[in-house]
Amino acid sequence: MTTREQTQAKLDRLSAGMMKHTPEQHYTVADRLEERAAASPDSPFLLWNGRALSYGEVNAQANRFAHHALASGLRPGDVAALLMENRPEYLFVWFGLAKIGCVSALINTQASGEALRHALATTGSQRLFVGSECGERITRTPGVGDTLPLLAIADENQGPTPPGCRHIDADIAAQPATNPDPALRSEVTGSSTLCLVFTSGTTGLPKAARITHARWLGVGEGWAALLEAGKDDVFYCALPLYHVAALMSLMSNALASGGRVVLRRRFSASRFWADVREHGVTVAQYSGEMCRYLYNQPPHPDDRDHRLRAMTGSGLSPAIWLPFQERFGVTQMIEGYGGTEINVGLMNLDNRVGSCGRIPFPERSNARLVRYDRDRDCYLRNADGTLMDCADDEVGEMLGMILELPGVTGGRFDGYTDPEATEKKILRNAFRPGDAWLRTGDLFRRDADGYYYFVDRVGDTFRWKSENVSTTEVANVLGDAPGVETVTVYGVSIPGNEGRAGMATIVMQPGHAFDPAALYRLAREQLPSYAVPVFVRVSDDTDITPTFKLRKVDLQKLGYRATPGDTLWVADPAADRYVEASALNLARLGIPPSHAA
């Protein structure tokens, strides 16, 4: 049993690293890259498809994009969107924008149609850098080029030129490789926005959360201190760069330690261990079911023949936690909890199976677990109106006290581009007059040793395939289907799977029949793949509405069990349609019977 003092000592190392960067500093992410390039220009930074790009090369390419952005009219403080799959050019653009004091809006590569329009509008983007591999997203969003320039960057697997896009590769190559004038970012401080990252929060459409320079740099310093990472460490990046897990947690760690990054377009279970062995990877990330996919690969005699010493992430199933470590010999599995905009974090540094973190001494943390009634969607309160703390083993919502201390980045809530959405996330006068707390929207339980265990999300979003799914976004798309009267979207549990699968309960207008093929095609074309509902329940209950939360809770409890008067459908991607959710079809699709109560 690890003592509380031992856990706290590890957390103190992490905190000391993060505290090196302050809201007031004028040191930026661009300065960090330029320092590395000046000190070790020939040291490898990115390993990509057989190529090694040094710190000097990455810096030079970022400079070319910075000069191009300046020549095109971007100025400090402006916002430019980035839609591209993982590849070195993603980082060239991102670093280049930071070098001239601009803000990058990171767009989910599965966004198209209204989701893409919403992302560009809510961030105030003045242009869109788009990888040619994402051209289909532009094709599915007619007219997007009418409101801002579309600047295409060729991919090595060159696809068709996205409509309305202008290729800029020749322009980039003609730009100087020298660092732009640092005076361009003279007004940038640690509290300035570095980039905008989308998160679904707890309600409504995805929101653009602000990531500051100090937070990005501090996360890297903290991780490097905790893992004792240095220039000989090799990091493995296969998660999408438009998420903070890859771009901040891993990339900032590599830059802080001076190590190198093996960058992959996407995760491949069959290639992972070969990459780890070939490149001497020492630190890797996981998310959701990645470890299960790796564990389900056929065993090999060299499963433990590698240098990988630490894997960090979230969503590791307790069922394979210890078997995974035993088979592959990874000594540190650091399961954690955090969020793009969340001002609290948890980290399991003691290998307590199933836990995502420990708070050894509550008085040293800004986190607080409070009682929450899921059925009535409200907090439980004392007679004086204040919130009630959870007892051990009681489920409640995690809150984070919002701190604004001089010289301290931790505990701050930088919010969204939408001030109204920012304010809705804040809970005021919770324990005493004038206090302010961030609602995480996440439910946990805590054991007697101070370890926390994730239970579920509250509100109108749910987690599936390691992504937050906005029920509002899905309902808006499905509501456009001909003959649909009301749509209620929620998540349901599938035994043996992490998170919740999307389900939509639909009421059709009188005289209209449900079209399972048309609805699936609409969802597939307009939504990210992880947001396409796995199940559809067609009901004649006209009381069901998207805002009737108590009914939604009842529907969640039903899961995907059949009920009299309703018809159930399940997504069949191979057939490109929804099919009846019969026992035969569910078994064919690898979905076990619902265990919902």
Same domain, 398 and 490: no
Structural domain ending residue among the three candidates 188, 219, 236 = 188
Distances (CA, A) of 63 to 58, 222, 581: 9, 27, 54
- DSSP track, 155-224: -TT--PPPTTEEE-HHHHHTS--SPPPGGGGTT--TTSEEEEEEE--SSSS-EEEEEEHHHHHHHHHHHH
Cα 264 versus chain centre, distance:
17
* Domain assignment of residue 112, yes or no: yes
Q: How far apart are CA 511 and CA 428, in angstroms?
A: 48
In a domain, 111, yes or no: yes
Cα separation of 128 and 162, whole Å?
12
Residue 481 shares a structural domain with residue 428: no
Q: Are residues 72 and 163 in the same domain?
A: yes
- Residues 532, 395 share a domain: no
| C-alpha closest to that of 534 among 506, 583, 496, 494 | 494
pLDDT given for residue 339 in this prediction: 82
Which of 170, 188, 206 is at the close of a domain?
Answer: 188
Residue 311 to residue 107: CA distance in whole angstroms: 26
**Is residue 312 in a domain?**
no
Q: Is residue 567 part of a domain?
A: yes
Tell me: do 489 and 539 sit in the same domain: yes
Q: Coil, strand or helix: which one is 115?
A: helix
- Give the integer Cα–Cα distance in Å for 341 and 355: 21
pLDDT confidence of residue 159? 67
What CATH number should be reported for the domain holding residue 382? Answer: 2.30.38
Residue pair 126/75 in contact by the 8 Å Cβ criterion: no
The encoded tokens of residue 270 equal 């069959």
Verify that 511 and 582 share a domain, yes or no: yes
DSSP β-ladder status, 367-373 and 567-572: unpaired
Contact (Cβ atoms closer than 8 angstroms) between residue 15 and residue 410:
yes
Residue 174 and residue 37 in one domain: yes
Looking at residue 153, its pLDDT comes to: 96
- Kindly state the tokens that stand for 5: 């003092």
Count of domains forming the chain: 3
What's residue 52's pLDDT?
97
Ranges of beta strands (E only) in 374-482 are 378-379, 396-401, 426-428, 436-446, 451-457, 461-464, 467-470
With respect to residue 284, please indicate whether it lies within any of the assigned structural domains.
Answer: no
Q: 281 - beta bridge partners? A: none
Examine the domain organization and report whether 64 and 136 are in the same domain.
yes
Please provide the DSSP assignment of 224-236 as one string.
HHHHT--TT-EEE
* CB environment 220-257: b (16+ within 10 A), e (fewer): bbbbbbbbebeeebbbbbbbbbbbbbbbbbbbbbbbbb
Asked if residue 457 belongs to a domain, the reply is no
**Whole-angstrom Cα Rg for the chain:** 24
pLDDT at 597: 53
Cα separation, 280 vs 306, whole angstroms: 7
Burial group, residue 510, by CB count within 10 angstroms (0-12, 13-18, 19+) = exposed
Taking residue 310's Cβ as centre, other Cβ atoms within 10 Å add up to 20
Which of the listed residues 146, 167, 188 is the one where a domain comes to its end?
188
Same domain (yes/no): 35, 146:
yes
Bridge partners (DSSP) of residue 398 are 369
Residue type for 276, please?
Answer: V
CATH code where residue 492 lies: 3.30.300.30
Please check whether residues 526 and 402 belong to one and the same domain.
no
Q: Which of 495, 489, 483, 502 is nearest to 590 (CA)?
A: 495
Tell me how crowded residue 63 is: count the other CB atoms within 10 A of its CB: 25
Establish if 351 belongs to a structural domain.
no
In three state form, how does the secondary structure of 520-551 look? HHHHHHHCCHHHCCCEEEECCCCCCCCCCHHH
CATH number of the domain that 76 lies in?
Answer: 3.40.50.980
How many of the other CB atoms lie within 10 Å of CB of 313? 21
Range of the domain at 381: 364-442
Which amino acid, 275?
A: D
Residues 37 and 178 in one domain: yes
Query: pTM for this structure?
Result: 0.85
- Residue 11 sits at the vertex; the CA angle it makes with 6 and 15, to the nearest 5 degrees, is 150
Identify the residue whose tokens are 């007059």: 433
* 327 and 303 Cβ atoms separated by less than 8 Å: yes
Q: Are 186 and 100 within 8 A, CB to CB?
A: no
Residues 494, 382 share a domain: no
Q: Is residue 371 within 8 Å of 388, Cβ to Cβ?
A: yes
Orientation angle between helical segments 88-99 and 55-71, nearest 10 degrees: 60
Q: Are 133 and 85 in contact (CB under 8 A)?
A: yes
Say which residue the tokens 């910075």 belong to. Answer: 66
Please report whether residue 200 resides in a domain: no
Q: What is the pLDDT of residues 125-178, one digit of tens each?
A: 999 999 999 999 999 899 999 999 999 999 987 667 778 899 999 999 999 999
The HSE-up count of residue 313 (CA atoms within 13 Å, CB side) is 22
In the DSSP assignment, the letter for residue 317 is -
**DSSP annotation string for 359-376:** -S-GGG-SEEEEEEETTT
Q: Answer for the pair 395, 445: CB distance below 8 angstroms, yes or no.
A: yes
- Specify the pLDDT at position 351: 94
Place of tokens 């992302």: 119
Parts of the chain with a pLDDT under 50:
542-550
